[in-house]
Structure 1
Amino acid sequence: MSRPVLYLFGSAAPPVQQIPGVVRRAQAAGFDVCLGLTPTASRWLDSERPLLEQLTGRPVRSEYKQPTEADPWPKADVIMFAPVTFNSMNQWALGLTNHFVIGVVAEGIGKRIPTVAMPCVNDAYAQHPQFQRSVETLRNAGVSVLYGPGGFEPNEPGKGRPEHYPWHLPLAAAARLVGTGP
């Protein structure tokens, strides 16, 4: 039996720097992992790219492929987008697909690919009226957004603790979405 394919996407919030360990945890949970990053997250992890490509056995993607190129990844069984920044949440909810990761998750809604997302925003961003609308828009579209009690809870600006980002929550949710988790 083949392993379910997890598209693991991350945007430029400090927890994204833990992504090599997250790839390993996802693989240990039984996933075949394909890693995609927003452009800024990709720059942040540029020195990790060889390790990440070795771990996944595939290119780390942050840009759209050329129309004539074959897709280097298999089709996703589930998408996990974490951490998701304020900017990425709003772009996704508004359908602004100028970046590869946002384009894939936006299209994933229409393709009915099970998707879990967990934001990483501070309380000041969370109070912006568009953020709450974006969370609700994505939830209404079928995305499992882990935000609020039982998910990510915002911190005060400047008081983030990326080492405490609850990676286990979206990993467990992704496993449940494909029927491999508790």
Structure 2
Amino acid sequence: MLGVVASGAGGVERLRTGLVAPALERGWRVAVTLTPTAGAWLRRTGEVQRLEELTGLPVRGGPRFPDEARPHPQPDCFVVAPASANTVAKLALGIGDNQALTQVCEAIGTVGLPVVVLPGVNAAHARHPAWEGHLAALRSAGVRLVHGPEVWPLEEPRASVPARELPWAAVLAAVEQATAPPA
């Protein structure tokens, strides 16, 4: 079971075709949770319904009531893609102020549960003085980061090509590496 969490960053509109469908083709069962912004964006375009039809599970965006059953099975791995600068900062600081972040913050603290994060940020975000500290905090917690110029060259704000595809294959490769049995 792959728990996919997405935030409101560029590329989230291709979550279904770029990450979810390929993960299903590789044999994963996929459960999707969206931050409030990503949920609003994908509901507006009909992608939430398409994700639910594809996965056979509800797309989560909010908490459940205590007497309600969990809508998703327990994941064997979490992937956060794309992760906005806001999401990366909150995960690094342990701030779970929505359902998506709560799940991932808990996963980061769960022994043996791999977490993969694709920061979907621009060059200005990465130059912020706190950015490297956020990445270091996530690395120290065992989070696998999919980033760097060889994977995702950063662009200046508003200079991005709209059709630029996120490195979905690199994300799936990191998931498979994180969940491979020890050699």
TM superposition score normalised by structure 2: 0.91
Letter paired with 1:173:
A
After TM superposition, where is structure 1 displaced by more than 2 Å over at least 4 residues in a row? 149-153, 161-164
Q: Is the 8 A contact 1:80 1:117 kept in 2?
A: yes
Taking the aligned partners of 1:135 and 1:151, their CA distance within structure 2 comes to 16
Measure how far apart 1:153 and its partner are.
2.9
Aligned Cα RMSD in Å?
A: 1.3
Q: How does 1:1-182 map to 2 (within 5 A)?
A: 5-21=1-17, 22-46=19-43, 47-112=46-111, 113-161=113-161, 163-179=164-180
The alpha-carbon deviation at position 73 of structure 1 amounts to 0.7
* Residues in 2 aligned to 1:98 and 1:153: alpha-carbon distance in whole angstroms: 29
Q: Is the 8 A contact 1:123 1:157 kept in 2?
A: yes
Q: Distance in 2 between matches of 1:101 and 1:160?
A: 26
Q: Is the 8 A contact 1:119 1:152 kept in 2?
A: no
Q: Secondary structure at the match of 1:163?
A: coil
**After superposition, what is the alpha-carbon deviation per residue over 1:27-84, rounded to whole angstroms, capped at 9, x for unaligned?**
0111100011110000100022221111010110111111221101111101111100
Amino acid at match of 2:96: T
> TM-score, normalization: structure 1?
0.92
C-alpha separation in 2, matches of 1:18 and 1:163? 10
Q: State the secondary structure of the residue aligned to 2:164.
A: helix
Letter in 2 for 1:129: P
Structure-2 change in CA distance of 1:150 and 1:140 (3 Å): farther
What is the alpha-carbon distance in structure 1 between the residues aligned to residue 107 and residue 150 of structure 2? 24
Paired positions, count: 176
Q: Deviations over 1:77-104 (max 9, x none)?
A: 0111110000000011111111111111
Matches of 1:65 and 1:166, distance apart in 2 = 32
Deviation at residue 172 of structure 1 after TM alignment: 1.0
Aligned-partner Cα distance in 2 for 1:157–1:78:
31
* Greater Cα offset, 46-55 or 79-88: 46-55
Unaligned stretches of 5+ residues in structure 2: none
